[in-house]
Structure 1
Amino acid sequence: MKTLNKVFNKSSILVPGVAILLGLIVGAIAMLAGGYNPIVAYYSLLDKLFSSPYNIGEAIRAITPLIFTGIAVAFAFRTGLFNIGVEGQFIMGMTGATLVGVTLDLPWYIHAPLAVITGAVFGGVWAAIAGFLKATRGVNEVISSIMLNWIALFLSNYIVATFLVEKGQQKSRPVHESALLTIDWLIELMDKARMHWGTFIAIICIVVFYVLLWRTKQGYELRAVGHNPDAALYAGMNVNRTIVKSMFISGLFAGLGGVFEILGVFGYQTVMAASWGYGFDGIAVALLGGNTPVGVLLGAILFGGLNYGSTGMSFGAGVPSEVVRIVIGSVIFFVASHGLVKWFLKPFLNKRASKRKEAV
């Protein structure tokens, strides 16, 4: 058994690769059952992702908010909290950035940073409400954060429709150019794809996530409270304050995702009929990535790439959106089901372990 465990550890790259392959195979079977050609469909998916600088840029643009929301979920989870309210925090980040971007007219070196900070703080404070309720009243953060998602949606719509609306339209006035965070030279390089500074900030946030949790005293306290609040309290840590702090930081990451959708992609905020869904996708991304910084990045690339490339399957191979979702769901299922994949690989790994034992 020890030998087999060593093989599993050394197969950490093999298992995710086989998981993705199994997901694509199941997706291919679903397409064949529906009378569609899976080879053409998968070629169309790859063609959509890599056929032009524009498509590559737009794929990166689609991946970026998933990095932010994935980090937000993973950070909270690593500190013993399940933040289901990332969607609402994402929306509040959008609203904070829109408020500053539309109502103020400042030099770019003040306006853009202020809009970013405001949106991030809006997201952080919104998450901290759930943390405060848990810390002071024992309210489960799953329940409170889900409810706060809906409150954020309707509050955001009220703010936009009442104070920021463009006359005669269901969207806010445009954000002042001094607050926009697009990268003009990169947009030209990527054939007008909507490239912005948020992609680089997302990579920085991954590093911050790792350094904060595993290389600082504050991170140790956050993880300690998450693992065992009673032991942390006995050690002299302020458990209630740490819970609120953890949710606030998680919300900051989510809020930043919303900030860059406004300042980097659209330049205005709409009156939304429904949530964007990035926050809920972030839960899948975090789980796919094992709640680790690098894992979240890879999970966002996989999830965002499949989502963006799936439109190529619809147009290039005529695969309906329902079947496309089966393909995406199959890949995610197998990537998330490490135990099932290891069971599938067990005969091969047993044989490999035996050979190693005989060689010794």
Structure 2
Amino acid sequence: MRQIAGGSVVISILAVVLALVVGAILIAVTDPGVQQAAGYFFARPGDTFQAIWNVVSGAYSSLFQGAIYNFGRPTFAEGIRPFMDTLTYATPLIVAGLGVGLGFRTGIFNIGGQGQMLIAAAFCGWIGWSFDLPPVLHLVVAVAAGFVGGALWAGIAGVLKARTGAHEVIVTIMLNWIAFYLISYLLRTPGALQQHGSNNPKSPAILPNAILPPLFGPQYQLHWGFVIAIAATIFIWWLLERSSLGFKFRAVGENPSAAKVAGISVNSAIIWSMVIGGGLVGLAGVDQVLGTTTGGFGSSIDAGIGFDAITVALLGRSRPLGIFVAGVLFGAFKAGGFLMQAADSIPIDIVLVVQSLIVLFIAAPPLVRAIFRLPTPGKPPRKKKPTTTTPIAPKEVAAK
């Protein structure tokens, strides 16, 4: 029970709870109604508490109805639409988080998700509008092209890390900027990625055969990319837990020197980890191009998902199932944040603050354990000091 209470799963859950509590405090402090009621707090303190309850409960109720189920809709099919939107937002976060988490398990800090998504978007988008292939084949080729594009771009950082010792953080940051300016240039160049006959930096529309079809009908935005995300989660679990290559990844991540002594090629593990992880991040770009913005994309197609994936991987503790759940949670924040802003005039930045606080608490497990008085795993419980009594001499007893 001590291992469970102080373990990573409980810490992650409590980090989310703490972030929501701090978010509620920020909502209450910044609300004009609460500020007005606080002006005469000592005269009528109940008004202040009532105003705090109204704004916080209203904000989180809107967050729930915008992310899970809207009780104001007349039918179940319409009421469940927010949850479908949540899964739609979560789909690219899951696959990108899996790619980043795979690097974490190998000891690699891959923050080049933006560049890998942009290159993958260019690869799959070019296949999507340039060729007229049969329906299933066209989609498969476009998805594979996106995976290859992300894998190649991440492989550059992996090769530089393995062969020259270049720091992957610096390399991936530079590759992000290279990819951004390269795609921006190609989107403004006729005959490259720019739509024919247009002066806007936007790509052509994707052909119908290459579009990810809707998963539950046209009334929902959720597409078959979510199925790909589930398959990727299962694959990464199998890769890390059941395959020899995954064992090499984990061994290098735990101790590269010991892995090298055991006969494992550290350089090969680093390169393949970056290649596979980059391909998974590239699938997030595929979801954006073939499933969300099928009418063409611009240089902002990544939508910050490459960096959000780092948060998802951290919250999921780089475990496939944890990353899947964390991706759905952050998808719910994104989907519900819009309704919270529209219905209650709560700034969307509050949701970003909550996400940042989650990372803060995840990165500081001792702080979470201290707040909730949780035990530290592997540390024996503190023993109570025995109470000592001074024996009374027989003469003193006789005197009494």
| 1:357 counterpart residue number | none
Stretch of structure 1 that moved more, 129-138 or 339-348: 339-348
* Aligned pairs (5 A) from 1:155-170: 155-162=182-189, 163-166=192-195, 167-168=197-198, 169-170=200-201
* Aligned pairs (5 A) from 1:146-225: 146-162=173-189, 163-166=192-195, 167-168=197-198, 169-183=200-214, 186-188=216-218, 192-225=219-252
| 1:25 counterpart residue number | 21
Amino acid at match of 1:45: L
Give the drift of 1:348: 9.9
**2: distance between equivalents of 1:69 and 1:84?**
11
Structure 1: gaps (5+ residues)? 355-360
Q: What TM-score do the two structures reach when normalised by structure 2? A: 0.80
| Alpha-carbon contact 1:307-1:328 (below 8 Å) kept | no
Greater radius of gyration (CA): 2
| Alpha-carbon contact 1:313-1:324 (below 8 Å) kept | no
- Residue by residue over 1:101-154, the C-alpha shift from the partner in whole angstroms, topping out at 9 and shown as x without a partner, is 111111112211111111100000100000111111111111101110111112
For CA contacts below 8 A with separation 6 or more, give which structure has more relative contact order: 1
- How many aligned residue pairs are there? 343
**2: distance between equivalents of 1:212 and 1:322?**
37
SS in 1 for 2:188: helix
| 1:358 counterpart residue number | none
Aligned CA-pair RMSD: 2.3
- Residue by residue over 1:325-360, the C-alpha shift from the partner in whole angstroms, topping out at 9 and shown as x without a partner, is 3344334534554332221221799xxx89xxxxxx
**2: distance between equivalents of 1:205 and 1:215?**
15
| 2:113 counterpart residue number | 86
| Alpha-carbon contact 1:160-1:269 (below 8 Å) kept | no
**Cα 1:340–1:41, aligned 2, differ >3 Å: closer, same or farther?**
same
| 1:48 counterpart residue number | 66
| 2:44 counterpart residue number | none
Give % identity.
Answer: 36
Amino acid at match of 1:44: S
| Alpha-carbon contact 2:285-2:301 (below 8 Å) kept | no
**Cα 1:27–1:87, aligned 2, differ >3 Å: closer, same or farther?**
same
Amino acid at match of 2:369: K
- Residue by residue over 1:260-285, the C-alpha shift from the partner in whole angstroms, topping out at 9 and shown as x without a partner, is 21111211442325852101000001
| Alpha-carbon contact 1:171-1:268 (below 8 Å) kept | no
Structure 2: gaps (5+ residues)? 33-54, 71-78, 383-400
**2: distance between equivalents of 1:93 and 1:290?**
26
**2: distance between equivalents of 1:275 and 1:180?**
18
Q: What TM-score do the two structures reach when normalised by structure 1? A: 0.88
Stretch of structure 1 that moved more, 52-61 or 118-127: 52-61
Stretch of structure 1 that moved more, 153-162 or 23-32: 153-162
- Residue by residue over 1:275-323, the C-alpha shift from the partner in whole angstroms, topping out at 9 and shown as x without a partner, is 5210100000101111111111111112221122111111111112334
**2: distance between equivalents of 1:277 and 1:193?**
23
| Alpha-carbon contact 1:124-1:255 (below 8 Å) kept | yes
| Alpha-carbon contact 2:316-2:323 (below 8 Å) kept | yes
Structure with greater helix percent: 1
| Alpha-carbon contact 2:122-2:193 (below 8 Å) kept | no
**Cα 1:119–1:235, aligned 2, differ >3 Å: closer, same or farther?**
same
**Cα 1:347–1:164, aligned 2, differ >3 Å: closer, same or farther?**
closer
* Aligned pairs (5 A) from 1:349-360: none
**2: distance between equivalents of 1:331 and 1:238?**
36
**2: distance between equivalents of 1:244 and 1:17?**
33
* Aligned pairs (5 A) from 1:278-293: 278-293=305-320
2:353 is the counterpart of 1:322: no
